[in-house]
Chain A
Amino acid sequence: MTDSTKLIVSHAPFYRDACTVMKRSYLIMAAALVALIPGWFLFGAPAVGVSALAVASSIFWELTANTLMKQQPTIGDGNAAMIGLILSMLLPATAPWWMVITGTFVAIIMSKIAFGGIGGNPFCPPALSAAVLTVSWPHLMNFNGMLVNYDMAWSMVDPLINVKFFGAETASLYPPLELLFGHQAGGIGAVCGAGLILGGIFLMIRGISSWEICLSFLGGVFVAAFLFNMSNPDLYAGPVFHLLTGYTLVGAFFLATEDSSSPVNLIPMLIYGFGGGMLTVLIRNKGVWVDGVLFAVLLMNLANPILDMIRPKALGKV
């Protein structure tokens, strides 16, 4: 039966969906750019520098790790660049270069490579890295201090700090429309609410960020902020303010939805997102931290393996 024409064999299936890890990473980066570009225009060249350095150093760390571990380079899948870009969204425009490089080291080496590379990380790398930076150098992650030299037509006091220390009436200094267009102090990619929402909708309809997590996260923030606001309107700002300030939108669309640290079934996703949103507002209003998104995302990452145990029964199982 055999003859000289040797054919290639492989295992089924022989058709494959065209989506790859690389495409996924690039689409996420495209969505992130929608929010980052307005940030670059607002904060100027230093902001572009921070983003560029973050992406470059992320790729450098991953390549170094690959070389040291004698692996095939994995930078081609775009995941390292994506992590760097998302991390740069969280940093202030004037972040010193060594802080950016340390941040990407934590994000790439400590929270991704140490856990076995893409897919193994139990925590969202950019969120973990930003949390490490916040805890290590609180003054460098404080947007009031870092953005003091920016003289804009609007208040350059971090709205969250204002509300936290001077009461909820200061929230009226920040009309929602202004917040949407990035007229506030904050991370490079976190200020422009409109860009984040556009990017987030793009990711949701493309099925890259699961809409269940994004929307339930925002829902959690809204409900918790609404309840706090109802209980004491003088002390706690309203839900719309909480949705549009700080890292809320970045957290909902880019951090909480990170693949390997978020659940995949419907009910766990809803609990995960809602819990993250609630914790965000709880930490903002009750804890010592100005912004609770990073810690809320990390705490929900922690609960992810347990949440993922809630799943539909498999076919034919009793």
Chain B
Amino acid sequence: MIRRSFFGYLAAKLPYETVKGGLPDPVDTALPGEVTLQIQVGTDQKSLVDKKKTALKKGVEVQRGALYGLFDEETKNVSAPVSGTITSVETRTGNYGRHFALINIATSEEGETSPAFSDALEADTKGTESLAFLSQLPGRPPFTRLANDGIHTVILSALEQDLLTNVNQYALLARKTDFKRGADYIKELAPKARVVLALPKYLEAEAQDTGCETVGIKNLYPNGNPILLAGRLAGKPIEAGKTLEESGFLLFSAEAVAATGKALRTRSLPQEKLVTLTLKNKETRLVNARIGTPITQIFEAAGETLVKRDHLIVGGPLTGVSVYTPNFPVDPDTDAILCHGPENMPRLTDTYCINCGKCVRVCPANIPVNLLIRMLENGLYEEAVEKYDLDACVECGLCSFICVAKMPLFQQIMLARHTLAESKKSAEMGGSND
């Protein structure tokens, strides 16, 4: 899958998957008996969920396509992908202290689609309510933030976020009319912003009729990284330590744009997520699954069973997250799911950095990773930001991929950033109390 040149001085090339061999035919997954919705919650909200003080609780009936609020009816932040009854509400803690509320919904057969979305569109196509609905589409388009001041560039990206997926390229090609409609809608919403379609070079000719300004980009990892992409489109890198939004960029994935177009056309919310599945035998296939479907069902449909001690990865091999249960749901932004057996587990070691310099050569942000990791190993996080550019990291994971000593470089970097963010947050909280 990843070919390594004999000529070691060349950096390893990691091409994204393409749709060059013809468009794949997505396989539909049957409607699951139970779906799970994940909503990220803060630490204070987590205890509320644990104490069962949510508006969505066991026994509540939900309707497909309707919008609900987890805690109250005011802030609606979750759309039900199926009609049915909530069976339980749990919490889970993910990487770096992120908390999630999990809402399990038992699907009922006679699910009627809620008319709420088409009503909202009737009322005002560009109203807040319509945008709140659209933000729930597959790909999680950031519609609610489009109205923010200072957004000067909207990137529609047909580049993938990680390896082993081609959903955005597929969405751009196979759903071209919907894509065009979605792109036009975004242009109407943000009349002052520059709307650019970033896409792999080989697709440039295909995208002529979308009517967007296009920028062809080499289909190599990590060119699809949002921060690198924004820097390339702006002509100068965005300032280290700032988020995409703070610098005035918003990123819509091609799949989200196409889904928007479809939503406007059909006046109902599409809630089928495209996912590239990679099986244990390295075979990849494109599947179409309802948001919230347990991953194990998708694998079952593909003829793969997950057993104990397997490795299940959501979101791609370089930046994804490995999950602890095969019942993990498909999220609106899950592009790739892969699994492999314990024999393919990457081995990490406790070897000290041997200073071979491969990470420095491969880093797209020019970070002196060899010196940075020495700081991080000793817990000198502030110094790492000041002297060794920890804040410039774009979180692509390439240093960890290439590391000869097999150190957990990416984990160390993420841990440091998380720790710094936490201490900054607690300092701010302390400051406001005084």
Partner of B325, one of A1, A14, A16, A260: A1
Q: Does A208 contact B (CB under 8 A)?
A: yes
Whether A7 touches B322, Cβ cut-off 8 Å, given contacts A15-B2, A16-B346, A119-B355, is: yes
Q: Which residue of A lies closest to B321 (CB)?
A: A12
Expressed in whole angstroms, the Cα–Cα distance for A120 and B351 within the complex equals 11
Partner of B347, one of A16, A120, A210: A16
Q: Does B237 contact A (CB under 8 A)?
A: yes
Q: Does A317 contact B (CB under 8 A)?
A: yes
- Please indicate the chain A residues that have their CB under 8 angstroms from the CB of B371 in the complex: 308
Contact A315 B322 (CB under 8 A): no
Contact B308 A5 (CB under 8 A): yes
- Please indicate the chain A residues that have their CB under 8 angstroms from the CB of B329 in the complex: 1
Q: Does B354 contact A (CB under 8 A)?
A: yes
Contact A119 B352 (CB under 8 A): yes
- Please indicate the chain B residues that have their CB under 8 angstroms from the CB of A259 in the complex: 354-357
Contact A3 B12 (CB under 8 A): no
Contact B319 A7 (CB under 8 A): no
Expressed in whole angstroms, the Cα–Cα distance for A211 and B357 within the complex equals 13
Q: Which residue of A lies closest to B355 (CB)?
A: A260
Q: Does A205 contact B (CB under 8 A)?
A: yes
Number of contact residues on B: which range applies?
35 or more
- Please indicate the chain B residues that have their CB under 8 angstroms from the CB of A15 in the complex: 1-2, 163, 317-318, 346, 401
Partner of A19, one of B327, B351, B404: B404
Contact A1 B345 (CB under 8 A): no
Q: Which residue of B lies closest to A212 (CB)?
A: B9
Which residues of A from 108 to 167 have beta carbons under 8 Å from B? 116-120
Expressed in whole angstroms, the Cα–Cα distance for A307 and B347 within the complex equals 33
Expressed in whole angstroms, the Cα–Cα distance for A105 and B92 within the complex equals 53
Which residues of B from 235 to 276 have beta carbons under 8 Å from A? 237-242
- Please indicate the chain B residues that have their CB under 8 angstroms from the CB of A5 in the complex: 296, 306-308, 325-326
Contact B354 A119 (CB under 8 A): yes
Expressed in whole angstroms, the Cα–Cα distance for A120 and B355 within the complex equals 9
Q: Does B353 contact A (CB under 8 A)?
A: yes
Partner of B348, one of A10, A17, A260: A10
Contact A1 B318 (CB under 8 A): no
Q: Does A24 contact B (CB under 8 A)?
A: yes
Contact A119 B319 (CB under 8 A): no
Q: Does B10 contact A (CB under 8 A)?
A: yes
- Please indicate the chain A residues that have their CB under 8 angstroms from the CB of B338 in the complex: 14
Closest Cβ of chain B to A179, distance in Å, is 28
Contact A264 B355 (CB under 8 A): yes
Expressed in whole angstroms, the Cα–Cα distance for A122 and B271 within the complex equals 58
- Please indicate the chain A residues that have their CB under 8 angstroms from the CB of B231 in the complex: 315-316
Q: Which residue of A lies closest to B388 (CB)?
A: A314
Majority DSSP secondary structure for residues of B touching A: loop
Expressed in whole angstroms, the Cα–Cα distance for A211 and B92 within the complex equals 50
Expressed in whole angstroms, the Cα–Cα distance for A206 and B358 within the complex equals 12
- Please indicate the chain A residues that have their CB under 8 angstroms from the CB of B402 in the complex: 17
Expressed in whole angstroms, the Cα–Cα distance for A204 and B9 within the complex equals 7
Contact B9 A211 (CB under 8 A): yes
Closest Cβ of chain A to B336, distance in Å, is 11
- Please indicate the chain A residues that have their CB under 8 angstroms from the CB of B184 in the complex: none
- Please indicate the chain B residues that have their CB under 8 angstroms from the CB of A13 in the complex: 317-319, 346, 397, 400-401, 410
Contact A21 B309 (CB under 8 A): no
Residue among B95, B317, B348, B366 with the highest chain A CB neighbour number at 10 A: B366
Contact mask for chain A residues 1-45; partner B; CB cutoff 8 A; 1 contact, 0 none: 111011111111111111111001000000000000000000000
Partner of B351, one of A7, A119, A308: A119
Contact A17 B405 (CB under 8 A): no
Expressed in whole angstroms, the Cα–Cα distance for A91 and B279 within the complex equals 54
- Please indicate the chain B residues that have their CB under 8 angstroms from the CB of A74 in the complex: 351
Which residues of A from 255 to 312 have beta carbons under 8 Å from B? 259-265, 308, 311-312
Expressed in whole angstroms, the Cα–Cα distance for A316 and B347 within the complex equals 33
Contact A9 B322 (CB under 8 A): yes
Contact mask for chain B residues 386-402; partner A; CB cutoff 8 A; 1 contact, 0 none: 00010010100100111
Closest Cβ of chain A to B334, distance in Å, is 14
- Please indicate the chain A residues that have their CB under 8 angstroms from the CB of B241 in the complex: 316
Contact B401 A17 (CB under 8 A): yes
Which residues of B from 283 to 331 have beta carbons under 8 Å from A? 294, 296, 306-313, 317-329
Expressed in whole angstroms, the Cα–Cα distance for A59 and B356 within the complex equals 22
6 smallest CB-CB distances across A and B, nearest first, come from: A207-B8, A264-B357, A314-B389, A316-B240, A315-B365, A314-B392
The interface of chain B, by Cβ under 8 A from chain A, is: 1-2, 4, 6-10, 12, 36, 90, 92, 95, 102, 104, 163, 227-228, 231, 237-242, 294, 296, 306-313, 317-329, 338, 342, 345-348, 351-358, 360-361, 364-368, 370-371, 389, 392, 394, 397, 400-406, 408, 410-411, 414
Known pairs A7-B311, A13-B319 / 7 extra A-B pairs, C-beta < 8 Å: A1-B294, A6-B324, A13-B317, A17-B404, A119-B353, A204-B9, A316-B238
